[in-house]
Structures are given as C-alpha cells and as structure tokens.
Amino acid sequence: MTQLGRRGKRRVDSHFALGLSPAGAAAVRGCSVVIVSVLLTVVSAALYAASFPPLGLAPLAWVALAPFLVAAVRVRPLGAACLGTLWGVLMGLGVAWWLPAMIAGYFELPAVAGWLGFLVVALGLTAWYVAAFAAWLSWLAERRAMGPLLVAAGWGASELARARLLVGNPWALTAYSQVRFTTLVQIADLAGPYGIGMLIAAVNAAVAGLVAPRLRARRPRVAVVGLVLTLVATLAYGSHRLSETFATGEPATVALVQGAIERGFSWRPEYGRLGVERYLALTRDARALRPRLVVWPESAISAYLQEPTPEQRAILQATRELGADLLLGGPHYEFSDRRTLYHNSIFAVHAGRVTGRYDKIRLLPLAEENLPSRLLARETGFTPGAHVTLLEAGDLRIGAFICWEAMYPELVREFALAGAEVLANLSNDAWFGDRAPARLHLDIASLRAIENRRYLLRATATGLSAVIDPYGRTLTESRLREPEVLSATIRPSDARTPYQRWGDSVAWAALALALAAALVDAASPPEIRASGTCPPRAHTEGADR
C-alpha cells in the first residue's frame, strides 16, 4: 500500500472510530476546509488593510494576498466567490472605517444608515470584483497549473474592472500602498497603478505557491527566475527614471492656501463671507513670496463668481492687487434648453477677470449627482462637465481637476495629452474627519504626477495640501486642520510618457489574458484538461455549502 493510501486509510479508520458515517466524515472535512479558508481570508484582508494608512506597513502588501489565494484554491468557485465577497467587505472596512460616519454626517442620517451605506459601497463597488477574481482563480486552478503571471493578470483585471465599471471605485488599489517606495513606483509612467498591483500580486502568488501546489507554474523554477528578473528590471527602470529630468521650463513660484474650513462651513451662506475673508487674508500673507500662481481648494467659495456679490468683488480686487493668477473652487450655473445646470468648478482669475473655468467631470454619486433625477431630467445636484479644459496662468498651462478625480488615471492623462504643463488637484477632504484617508488621497494623487511626469499642486480645505514633483516625491506638505500657506518653486513639463501614449494597455492586456485562459480551458476537451499537472482538490466536499 502506498504512503498516500495508508494516510487515507488512517483517516477513514479514525472517522469510523468516532462513529461517523462516510457522509458525516465528508461533512466534517468540508467544515474544516471552510473554517480554515475563512480564517485565511480574514488574515489576508487585515494584512492588506495594514499596508495602507494609518499603519502604512507597505511591505505587508507583498504577502497580504497570499493567504487569500491559498483559501480561494482550496474551495470550489462558489465558495471562492463567497470568500472574495468577505475579503472585499473586510478590506473595505480596514481602509475606509471612517466611511459610515462620513455618510451619516454628510447626509445628516442616523449612524445605522451610515453603516448600511458602507455595506452598499463595499458590496457593490468592491467585493463583487474580488469575488469574481476568486471564482475565476478557483475554477482555473481545477483545470491547470496556475502561476504568478496568470494570477497577476487576473488580479490586474479585477482592479481595472473595479476602477472602471459602474461609478468606479479605485480607492486603495494595491499600488497606492507602495508610494513611499519611490524607485519601485516609477514604473507607473509605463503601466499605471495596475502594473504595480500586478507585480505585487505575482509575488503573492509565488509565496502562496510554496504551500498550495495549484498556484505553482508548470515550471516553478522558470517562473520564479522570471519574477526575480522582473523585479530587478523594475528597480533598474526606476533608478534610471529618477536620474532623468522631465520639467525643463522656466521656474515659477506657487502658493497653496489651506483655509482649514471645516466640513459644511464653506457651503453655508451665512459663513460664506467669513470663509472668503480667511482665504484673502492668507493670500495677502503670501504676497511676500511673490508667487506667480496662488491656488485655493475646492469649494473655497459658496457664492457664484459670475454674480456681483461682495465675495466676488473682494476676490477680483485681490487679484488686481496681488499681481498673480488665482485658481479657486466654487459653484457655477448656466442655462441650457430651458434648464439650469449647476457645476462644481475651478476658476482661473487674472487681474480682476475670470479667464477660464473647468467643470468637474467625475461627480461623486449621490453627494454631487442624483442619478435617478438626472435620468428623469430633473434639476438636482451638479451636472458633469462635458470635456477636459486647461486653465492658464500667464503662459503656464494647467490641468486642474477636482477632489476624487485624482483617483482616475485615465482622466488625468487627458489633461497631459491636451497640453497641460502642470497638474493641480483642488479638493475638500474635510469630510474624511481623519488623517489616514487624507494621507491615502494624497498618495493616490502622487501617482498621477509620476504617470504624467508633471508637478502636481494639491490644495485642500483642511489638509493634506502638498506640492509633488514629477517623481512622486512630496516637496512640501501642510499640517492637518490648520490654516497654512505652502510655497514651492516648480517648472512646467511637456514630457511624453509611455503611459500617456498607451494608457491602461497593460491592464487591458491582463484582462484579455485572464479571459483567454478561461475560454481556452472551457473549450478544451475533458481529457486534455485532465492531463494537466494540477493535483486534485483534496477533501473539499461541502465547502460550497
């Protein structure tokens, strides 16, 4: 009798000794698989969340997915999908624990409604993408030897889908945990955030393959050597890019004004004038810096800059006295087909005159855009802008975008392709109520600077405001919830990067590979699939129950 046969006989004998029937023994084995798989999933989600602020233990991301990958291939596709759903919800809680309170506070709802809103976001905008990835992984692992490349392709496809489908939810993509590893993240100008995430997923797959044979490539040594060479090439590429100069235009001094206006303050009419006065006072303090450009955050004013209000007159007069261009965020309206359209906008003001306007394109669902009302042509919320618009400060062309638009690399890329020499992100992060999400939002914006090799000016209402160089490094950063003026010298850039040329081609290729692998296996005759090197799934009866 073989060693495997002896082990199986001992298991059967032990179950009979406990008085269990074969069906009962199978149920026990199934329950043990489920329990272990759930525990692995919980550990994985916790490690992944710990790689982001507030803990920011970035190295954990390189092993965080491994327990989840092991769990997914231990069960059948339906069970793997359930594990993926659990992982998505727990990960969401770990990186966005502040979201329930923010939802309740923003919409003035009870706390329980905030938690229900969180579950809707976690399930609808995160968890089901992870569930689909896990089911795909489990299904393929029954039929073929997986490996780092194929697992990475599947993970990259799931992150691309999460960022692009429905309203998109690219918060806490894997790449954003690695912003502090400056050399590594330089490949963002080649493959965007998805390429970095795929590299991390490949390493996780290699680690998981140490204990899960189904996650090993047909030629494990070749796969590991290829992965090591890819990591070395990534670091070499990063070092090379860090030695290059991208911004070669004439230097310009910029000033970012952080008014520390708490949440809700700037949109209450009775306080609108006080908010403008605070920003004007801080701007006058910046006059000694002789800035060429001054940037206020999103929602810096609540009045309409197109109307002759006291706030409008004060702002226009200040720009005449300052001798610098001003970017600021505020509301705007226009008439179209007997309807009034409202926009969340950025204005460029020069010498007492509004010279340009950008209307936010990617609106925050429910908070800024009521989709059902929009479909019914009712006037409610903001209307998304029609297209990318550059703003100018003298001969400096600026690609300015608003708040969470920084999370969409494909949108920011359009500004650079349109000729933007500097990027600006005006945001109101007061609703976060905590340093950790403000830090992650800043980290996300940093990758946009790398992808396009532009300086990025990030002006926020309460922090964290910052000036970021074309390598993703923070040159100066504000404190949280304190009035402050940041100043830095920047240079315009007209660099053309591979990411600008190709966009998310790497991620789309990953999606194509993941789908092709599934289609090929589905179309293969059973006898061909059976000839693969994957060991049979062991003792998972009942794992999907």
The answer to whether residue 298 is catalytic is yes
- Distance from chain centroid for Cα 499: 17
Question: Can you tell me the distance from the alpha carbon of 504 to that of 382, in angstroms, rounded to the nearest whole number?
Answer: 29
Q: Which of 44, 38, 47 is nearest to 79 (CA)?
A: 38
Residue whose entry in the numeric block shows the structure tokens 């315009």: 492
- The catalytically annotated residue of 159, 298, 414, 451 is 298
Phi, psi of 499 (to 5 degrees): -65, -35
Residue whose entry in the numeric block shows the structure tokens 């231990």: 74
Question: Can you tell me the distance from the alpha carbon of 459 to that of 364, in angstroms, rounded to the nearest whole number?
Answer: 19
Question: Can you tell me the distance from the alpha carbon of 295 to that of 280, in angstroms, rounded to the nearest whole number?
Answer: 11
Give helix 505-523 / helix 188-208 axis angle, nearest 10°: 40
Q: Which of 355, 363, 441 is nearest to 398 (CA)?
A: 355
The answer to whether residue 9 is catalytic is no
The answer to whether residue 360 is catalytic is yes
Residue 196: left (phi > 0), alpha (psi -120 to 50), or beta? alpha
CA atoms within 13 A on the CB side of 507: 27
- Distance from chain centroid for Cα 472: 15
Phi, psi of 77 (to 5 degrees): -55, -40
B/e letters for 417-454, b = 16+ CB within 10 Å, e = fewer, are: eeebbbbbbbbbbbbbbeebbbbbbbbbbbbbbbbbbb
* Greatest Cα-to-Cα distance within the chain, rounded to the nearest angstrom: 94
The CA angle 155-132-134, to the nearest 5 degrees, is 65
- The catalytically annotated residue of 82, 159, 360, 405 is 360
Secondary structure (H, E, C), 380-438: CCCCCCCCCCCEEECCEEEEEEEHHHHHCHHHHHHHHHCCCCEEEEEECCHHHCCHHHH
What is each CA distance from 196 to 52, 188, 437, 461, 471, in whole angstroms?
A: 15, 7, 21, 30, 15
Antiparallel, parallel or unpaired: β 325-336 and 353-359: unpaired
Residue whose entry in the numeric block shows the structure tokens 């059973």: 526
What is each CA distance from 144 to 77, 98, 140, 277, 540, in whole angstroms?
A: 14, 41, 6, 66, 18
Question: Can you tell me the distance from the alpha carbon of 399 to that of 424, in angstroms, rounded to the nearest whole number?
Answer: 6
- The catalytically annotated residue of 159, 368, 369, 403 is 403
What is each CA distance from 429 to 214, 255, 283, 455, in whole angstroms?
A: 44, 19, 20, 21
Provide the annotated active-site residues: 298, 360, 403
